[in-house]
């Protein structure tokens, strides 16, 4: 997407802007002339500013003030209120969240604090800010809440999630995100806060902290270590390349109908469905590794069945026809294109992976077994 959706001088606050999807949003916003971006992030274990810093290095020195970082934990209501006053945004894109299902099984309290209490504190601060704006700015202000398809529960062999699917969260993570979705909708209906919501499928791509399936498999294959495959490997996910997701987010944030939600999935018109079983994903990565790192071939020999995740949802899939019809969004990457680009990126950035895992104290071990 080359279209610029915001005029120069627009102030955008991105919560979770140092995270995987959030940093991709920040990078895209900084590519638009004159847009001023505030990254609000508590700088947790999965946060990293490297990709944003690379963009800032490429900007003219006169443009560097277009970005500021506020290190704030949304669980701190006073600090959140102060951050909103300092950023003075015209648009808030709320991506800050604890997001790993496995970690929510081991420690659900952090997910309630961040995703529920944090969203409440943010909504309260943003509502005060919005109500105090001059009328002209108040009329164009927007709050965009970014969520997950996991709030809808688990599908059988057929069907897809849509905006009318009933909520049925199954994990502490998805329950916390469902709660945050309902809070945002309530602040719209009760207080008139101008909001838009999106629910996305599984994101993948460069700069993702290496604890999720795709980067874990790549790094295990590089190291020649056993590649864990949960259960029978037949759980299905709808895979969405992060750059495609960000294009959808920016369309929804700027052009979506207020009070509406939009589902964003990876299926497009590439002649290739975005749904894959976990086994398919792992085996495809192994095939790519055989081509790119033939010394370790066949990498599929490393695939090792392990016990399943507690309460593991069987299948996710999204019907993205609403955002396609209303806003003209379509993903530009097939799963094959996106996955190959992702594998190549991780192989070229192994030192970054080592750095962020060491900083987080995470060595690639399995988590989420305490359920």
| Omega cis (within 30) before 358 | no
What six digits make up the tokens of 313?
């949802």
User: How far is 260 from 194, CA to CA, in rounded Å?
Assistant: 10
In this structure, what DSSP letter does residue 287 have? H
Question: What confidence tier does 273 reach under pLDDT thresholds 50, 70, 90?
Answer: confident
Catalytic residue among 48, 98, 173, 247: 173
**DSSP structure string for 305-338:** EEPPPTT---B--B--HHHHHHH----S--HHHH
Quick check: helix, strand or coil at residue 161?
strand
Question: What confidence tier does 65 reach under pLDDT thresholds 50, 70, 90?
Answer: confident
Using a pLDDT cut of 70, give the percent of the chain over it. Answer: 96
What integer pLDDT is reported at residue 271 of this predicted model? Answer: 42
Say whether pLDDT at 272 is over 80: no
What's the pTM value of the predicted model, to 2 decimals? 0.95
317, 262 Cβ separation under 8 angstroms: no
In this structure, what DSSP letter does residue 224 have? T
Distances 320 to 145, 305, 329 between C-alpha atoms, Å? 17, 33, 9
Superfamily holding 11-209+241-266+317-333: NAD(P)-binding Rossmann-like Domain (3.40.50.720)
Q: Is 150 a catalytic residue?
A: yes
User: How far is 104 from 98, CA to CA, in rounded Å?
Assistant: 8
241-271 pLDDT, tens digit each: 999 999 999 999 999 999 999 999 998 544 4
The residue with greater pLDDT, 308 or 164, is 164
Question: What confidence tier does 290 reach under pLDDT thresholds 50, 70, 90?
Answer: very high
What integer pLDDT is reported at residue 269 of this predicted model? Answer: 43
Cα dihedral across residues 357, 358, 359, 363: positive or negative = positive
In this structure, what DSSP letter does residue 284 have? H
Close Cβ partners of 246 (under 8 Å, ≥ 6 residues apart)? 21, 24, 25, 28
Catalytic residue among 36, 48, 90, 149: 149
Catalytic residue among 90, 150, 247, 283: 150
User: How far is 202 from 239, CA to CA, in rounded Å?
Assistant: 5
User: How many C-beta atoms lie closer than 10 Å to residue 303's C-beta?
Assistant: 20
Angle at 51 between CA 47 and CA 54, to 5 degrees: 140
Domain ranges of the chain: 11-209+241-266+317-333
Lowest mean pLDDT among 3-17, 54-68, 248-262, 336-350: 54-68
Q: Is 149 a catalytic residue?
A: yes
Say whether pLDDT at 1 is over 70: no
Question: What confidence tier does 44 reach under pLDDT thresholds 50, 70, 90?
Answer: very high
Quick check: helix, strand or coil at residue 227?
strand
Close Cβ partners of 96 (under 8 Å, ≥ 6 residues apart)? 15, 16, 19, 22, 40, 41, 42, 74, 114, 118, 122
295-349 pLDDT, tens digit each: 999 999 999 999 988 888 889 999 999 999 999 999 999 999 999 999 999 999 9
């Amino acid at each position: 997407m080359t279209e610029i959706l915001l005029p120069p001088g627009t102030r955008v606050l991105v919560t979770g802007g140092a995270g995987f999807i959030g940093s991709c949003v920040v990078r895209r916003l900084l590519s638009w002339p004159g847009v001023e971006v505030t990254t609000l992030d508590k700088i947790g274990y999965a946060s990293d500013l490297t990709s944003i810093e690379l963009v800032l290095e490429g900007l003219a020195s006169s443009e560097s003030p277009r970005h500021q970082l506020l290190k704030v934990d949304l669980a701190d209501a006073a600090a959140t209120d102060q951050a909103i006053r300092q950023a003075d945004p015209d648009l808030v894109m709320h991506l800050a969240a604890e997001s790993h299902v496995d970690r929510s099984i081991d420690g659900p309290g952090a997910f309630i604090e961040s995703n529920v209490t944090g969203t409440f504190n943010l909504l309260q601060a943003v509502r005060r800010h919005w109500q105090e704006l001059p009328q002209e700015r108040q009329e164009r202000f927007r709050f965009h809440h970014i969520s997950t398809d996991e709030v809808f529960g688990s599908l059988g062999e057929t069907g897809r999630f849509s905006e009318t699917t009933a909520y049925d969260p199954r994990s502490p993570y998805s329950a916390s995100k469902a709660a945050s979705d309902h809070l945002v909708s309530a602040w719209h209906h009760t207080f008139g806060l101008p909001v838009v919501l999106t629910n996305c499928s599984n994101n993948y791509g460069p700069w993702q902290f290496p604890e999720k399936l795709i980067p874990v498999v790549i790094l295990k294959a590089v190291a020649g270590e056993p590649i864990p495959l949960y259960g029978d490997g037949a759980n299905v996910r709808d895979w969405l390349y992060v750059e495609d997701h960000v294009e959808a987010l920016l369309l929804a944030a700027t052009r979506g109908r207020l009070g509406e939600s939009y589902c964003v999935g990876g299926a497009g018109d590439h002649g290739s469905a975005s749904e894959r079983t976990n086994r398919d994903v792992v085996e495809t990565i192994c095939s790519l590794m055989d081509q790119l790192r033939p010394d370790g071939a066949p990498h599929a020999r490393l695939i090792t069945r392990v016990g399943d995740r507690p309460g593991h949802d069987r299948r996710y899939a999204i019907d993205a026809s609403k955002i396609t019809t209303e806003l003209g969004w379509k993903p530009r990457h097939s799963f094959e294109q996106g996955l190959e680009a992702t594998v190549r990126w991780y192989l070229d950035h192994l030192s970054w992976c080592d750095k962020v895992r060491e900083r987080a104290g995470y060595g690639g071990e399995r988590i989420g077994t305490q359920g």
